[in-house]
Structure 1
Amino acid sequence: MQTYFILAVQAGLAAALAWLAARGLLGKEDPTFAPAAAVGVIASAIGNHARRAVELVSGVGLGVLVGDLLIGATGTGAWQTGVIVFVAIAIAAAVRGTGALMVQAGGTGVLVATVSPTNPDLELPRTLNALIGGAIGLLVVLIIVPLNPMRTLRRVADPALGTFAAYMTTAAQALACRDACAADELLDEMRAAEPELDRLDEVVIAADEVARHSPLRWRRRRALAAYSQGVEHMERAFRNSRTLVRRLGTAVREKEPVPFELPAAIELYGEAIRMLHREYLTTKEPVGARERVLAAVREAGKACRQDIGFCGTIVVSQLRTIANDLLRATGVPRNEARRMVRRAAAGYG
């Protein structure tokens, strides 16, 4: 709720400043498109500001130009509005624009055709209005009233990574209790929760951009850099953990032997995820998370050296894959991560 309140403040401030700036610089009575573009940039605050701002301002400019040129040639009306929207979106598609560019171009074309006064001398001022509004919007979100990137990130990362860790704990319990139904239910929950991890990637990109471009948030760059580098590997670990849960459910149904070290290893992965999240936030070197990952590999290695079934062997293999993902998320290079996993699996790491 606090984030949305700040976005509302940003939007109101940006609209007012854009109106004043366009009025002062261009001297026009109706600087409609400057506040509209400024608010559009604020609306992109949950994503990549710079990229979306360019898309938005380009879309506004394209819609204005197409609308004014066609209105000057054909006048206004229902079919003229349809033609303006068609041409604006077609041009956006022809230059391989994104969906945001197409929507903005079409929406602005409608605005020009139905609301804005018909005057062929306003093409350039309207386009300049859009550019001024876009610049003011960026100024507000990055310089004047920037969001706190760490607070925004935590609102998504806390539940996403907390849920991931909890899933590992539940998986360990299902295996230890030989509860195949619990494993099946967990797998369904994990499939449904994947958008949470995807959302985390989006928020990390947005927060990192604010930290890099906003002088007031530069001190957060180190913590966000760790998240930026690690989130891809965390997402991969989550996807691989679904395969792990599916296999352990099969192992239980097939009544395969389950050494106690195997659920202990899975529980250690949950602990590693929780610790990695804490170490990210405190900008500490994630030594604790690495230690727990390697401890999990060692426990899985002990289980593999005992009486274990086919599916149990696949569970161990999957645990090592996840270990590699989590070590990469802590900043360990690829080849070093593999070496560490091999040594730990053999009982040396």
Structure 2
Amino acid sequence: MTVGPTVRRRLRRLAARTPSILQCSVAAAVAWIVAKDLLGHPAPFFAPVAVVVCIGVSMGRRVRRMLEMVVGVSLGVGVGDLLVAWIGSGPWQIALVVALAMACAVLLDSGPVIALQAGSSAVLVATLLPPSGSGGTARMLDALVGGVVGIAAVGLFPIDPLALAHRHGRVVLNELAEALEGAAEAIAAADLPLAADSLEKARGSHRAVEQLASALQTGREIALLSPLRWRSRSRLARYQAAAAPIDLALRNTRVMLRRTLAALRDREPMPGALPERLHSLAEVVRLLRDELAEGVEPVRARRAALAVADGVRASGEEAAGFSTRVVTAQLRSITVDLLMATGTDRETATAALPPVTA
């Protein structure tokens, strides 16, 4: 039986998330054991719930957000337990419990997450799980236990921040290489539909860039907090240094594709060496992708980018049409961006190209 691309994509997503899922499930069981056997709580429902909230959020968000969720759950459960045990459960009691839980959360922190989590946890206590006996703070303690276990699991058995960076970095760099290849092929064949299609695909790359930024933020926090991942900080630093120039290269590539479309539509003559240089830039991107994944300094990518710059310097070609001049100018900008992504400073990268003539 043939597996379609959608199924394969979903299986890859599951494989990528499997370590976090296993981490979450084991930590939930540990939190239950701690709350039930060590603290003596008969049904510590909120301990594993807090673990799931904590680790589930840490899969792709900041540590601060994780802490906000845990505090929100604990606060909502505590306020709900205390008030419902005193005033009972009903429509006006629910309104009062939610209002007070959210107000307390706002007093503690200005973020919206902690208030929303406190309100939803208070609703759960006031409706489905009202206190059965003395009420009090027992279930609030369960939630705190779950949060502590979840945070400990993230710190002691963290996901691999480098694998996270590789996964999202590969997507961004592949999209950049494909956009450059699409521009090269469209120019070589004077193919207007291909240029339009490449531009449309490149316009969707901003989502991949945002996901890479989020992955690097998460990876940086994991590498800072977890002793097991301290050694990955230097390799993550290369990704972090390359991320902004790669984003600029994608933006400049989108501009170039828009002007490529205009130049082809207006039948402007384009330099014959332009497709070859764009293919070379796509190869620079692929080399950068591979060297970042290998954890080495991107020397090969830098040399390849300098070779493109040397070709531009040696050719001395000047474009005639307005759109074509923009295309060649963007090629220069993309080359500078990629040199910076390999660790070259802006001044050196700019000096590698010939000065712009008026």
**Bigger mean CA offset, 17-26 vs 231-240:** 17-26
User: Counterpart amino acid of 2:76?
Assistant: G
- The 1:69/1:166 distance shift into structure 2, 3 A limit, reads same
CA separation in 1, counterparts of 2:136 and 2:189?
71
Structure 1 residue 15 corresponds to structure 2 residue 17: no
How many corresponding residue pairs?
A: 343
Q: What are the residue-to-residue correspondences of 1:172-211 with 2, within 5 Å?
A: 172-211=184-223
Kindly indicate whether the alpha-carbon contact (under 8 Å) linking 1:48 and 1:209 is maintained by their aligned counterparts in 2: no
Whether the 8 Å CA contact 1:265–1:295 is kept in 2: the answer is: no
Q: For the structure 1 residues 181 and 2, does the alpha-carbon distance in structure 2 shift closer, same or farther, using more than 3 Å as the test?
A: closer
The partner residue of 1:219 within 208, 212, 231 is 231
Instruction: Report the 3-state secondary structure (helix = DSSP H, G, I; strand = E; otherwise coil) of the residue aligned with 1:255.
Output: coil
Task: Summarize the Cα distance change of 1:42–1:194 in structure 2 as closer, same or farther, 3 Å threshold.
Answer: same
Amino acid at match of 1:199: Q
Q: Deviations over 1:230-281 (max 9, x none)?
A: 2232122212211111011111222222112222222222111111111112
Structure-1-length-normalised TM-score: 0.87
CA contact (8 A) 1:41 1:137 kept: yes
Match of 1:270 among 282, 295, 306: 282
Q: 2: distance between equivalents of 1:300 and 1:86? A: 65
1:131 aligned residue: 144
- Which residue of 239, 258, 263 maps to 1:246? 258
Q: Give 1:179 deviation, angstroms.
A: 1.6
Give a deviation string over 1:184-243, Cα, whole Å, max 9, x none: 111111112321221122222223333333333333322222112222321222122111
Which of the numbers 117, 120, 124 marks the counterpart of 1:111?
124
Query: Following the alignment from structure 2 to structure 1, what is the Cα–Cα distance between the partners of residues 347 and 320?
Result: 24
Match of 1:171 in 2: 183
Deviation of the 1:136 alpha carbon: 0.7
Counterpart CA distance in 2 for 1:50 and 1:324 is: 34
Equivalent residue for 2:45, pick from 25, 29, 32: 32
SS at match of 1:81: helix
| Change in 2 beyond 3 A, CA 1:293/1:54 | same
Secondary structure of the residue aligned to 1:187 is helix
2:240 matches 1:231: no
Q: Is the 8 A contact 2:305 2:335 kept in 1?
A: yes
Distance 1:324 1:86 in 2: 54
Aligned counterpart in structure 1 of residue 343 of structure 2, from 331, 334, 337: 331
Q: Provide the secondary structure at the position in 1 that maps to 2:343.
A: coil
Secondary structure of the equivalent of 2:58?
Answer: coil
TM-aligned CA deviation for residue 152 of structure 1 = 3.4
Report deviation, 1:85: 3.0
Aligned identity (percent) is 35
RMSD across aligned positions (CA): 2.6
Q: Runs of 5+ in structure 2 lacking a partner?
A: 1-13
Contact 1:88/1:102, CA 8 A, preserved across alignment? yes
Distance 1:181 1:95 in 2: 56
Deviation at 1:13, TM superposition (A): 1.0
Question: What is the rounded CA distance, in whole Å, between the counterparts of 1:266 and 1:110 in structure 2?
Answer: 58
The alignment partner of 1:284 has SS state of coil
Does 2:84 correspond to 1:75? no
| Mapped pair 1:6 → 2:22 | no
Contact kept? 2:28, 2:47, Cα under 8 Å = yes
Structure 1: where are the runs of 5+ without partners?
A: none
